[in-house]
Amino acid sequence: MAVACAFAVATIYYSQPLLPQMAASFPGLAGHAGLIAMLTQVGYALGLLLFVPLGDVRDPRRVVLALVGMNLLALLGCAVSASAAALLLASTLVGATAVSAQLIIPALSGLVPGERRGAVVGALLSGLSAGLLFARTLSGFVGAHWGWRDMYGLAALLDLGLALAVWRLMPALPRTGGPRYGALLASLVQLLREEPVLRLSALTGLLLFAGFSALWTSLATLLALPPYHYGPAVAGSFGLVGIAGLLASPFIGRLADRIGPARLVLAGALTVALAFGVLYGAAACLAGLILAMVLLDIGNRAGLVANQARLYAARPDARSRMNTVFMAAYFAGGAAGSQLGNAAAHAGGWQGLALLAGGLALAAFALNLGAQLRASRGPAAAAH
């Protein structure tokens, strides 16, 4: 199922190495390539809010199969889009229907004992990491040799394989009873009010993923400039730096079980801040750029594993809805980071981007450090 998670999430990242190429196909997108990535992530956040809560009241397997079918159609819409407006609409729909992994992860995490949950979440998130790596590398290669439309057609074919894998491998988990859909959505707001750990995790995820997306959305554009002059194939190959984080995911999951999610979040945020410090000082050096991206990938993954592990432990009866709120905030941060990063990169290059994203990581660290200090003075203080 980790492989299924990889293919599910890959569809929202195929565009990143192709953004300059896609914008060149439509005059209306000149200078605004970041809109494609931003709307894809806005769509993903909407999909999380609209579809993932169903995992608490419907069989997640059936919901996933329906979403994969809709995602396939949205990818085909991108492939045949004849205008910038059509491409942006189809990209939003791709994001909205690409949320299958966020149903798979909480569903399967509930099938294992609590002492192994961090390891299982880490293993499934390694699938997500592989999806990012696979998407960027494959799309850069296909875009350079055949074009971005062919990449979206290929992605639709890959969705067929994903549907088959889910149908054969994901266990059915029938639900009985449960609230109506409207009440289900209203319960998201109630959870956000009632659960301090959800508010903390959501804001932390938003900040960290905003910085992560700021770099990845701007990467292809910055690499096309001096001193690199790289095309989409090379920009996509930077996805291979994710191998380090992918290999680290099982270790990160076990570390969450050993030292606790709260400490792991702090370590992850500091690692992300360090990554952007390296980027600020060494972006013109290829080795420095690669090191920064490896650190960013590992730090962001540590934060994600830790946040999800503490959420799943907090409310076992509402895992899908807790995950919905968290991941909606996470990808809202990604959408904002895509636009802010694009603006920072145009205004200040690598250094402007590093200052923006590094500041976001330090804010996430300060937020969690403050929460831990309040918790050390008593549960009542931590809840405020």
More confident residue, 325 or 249: 325
The reported pLDDT for the residue numbered 249 is 73
Higher-pLDDT residue of 285 and 118 is 285
Tell me how far apart the alpha carbons of residues 106 and 100 are, in angstroms, rounded to a whole number.
11
Mean pLDDT of the chain: 88
Q: Is the pLDDT of residue 183 over 80?
A: yes
100-156, pLDDT tens digit by residue?
A: 998 888 787 766 666 666 677 777 877 887 888 889 889 999 999 999 999 999 999
Look up the pTM and report it.
0.80
Is the model's pLDDT at 384 over the cut of 60? no
The yes or no reply on domain 2-382 and CATH 1.20.1250.20 is yes
The domain locations on the chain are 2-382
Read off the pLDDT of each residue in 5-24 and give the average, rounded to a whole number. 91
Given a cut of 60, is residue 294 above it in pLDDT?
Answer: yes
Which pair of structure tokens corresponds to residue 196? Answer: 């301090």
- Write down the pLDDT at residue 178: 65
Q: What is the pLDDT of residue 107?
A: 81
Per-residue pLDDT of 235-255, as tens digits, reads 888 878 877 777 787 788 788
**SS3 track for the chain:** CHHHHHHHHHCCCCCHHHHHHHHHCCHHHCCCCHHHHHHHHHHHHHHHHHHHHHHHCCCHHHHHHHHHHHHHHHHHHHHCCCCHHHHHHHHHHHHHCCCCHHHHHHHHHCCCCHHHHHHHHHHHHHHHHHHHHHHHHHHHHHHHHCCHHHHHHHHHHHHHHHHHHHHHHCCCCCCCCCCCHHHHHHHHHHHHHHCHHHHHHHHHHHHHHHHHHHHHHHHHHHHCCCCCCCCHHHHHHHHHHHHHHHHHHHHHHHHHHHHCHHHHHHHHHHHHHHHHHHHHHHCCCHHHHHHHHHHHHHHHHHHHHHHHHHHHHHCHHHHHHHHHHHHHHHHHHHHHHHHHHHHHHHHHHHHHHHHHHHHHHHHHHHHHHHHHHHHHCCHHHHCC
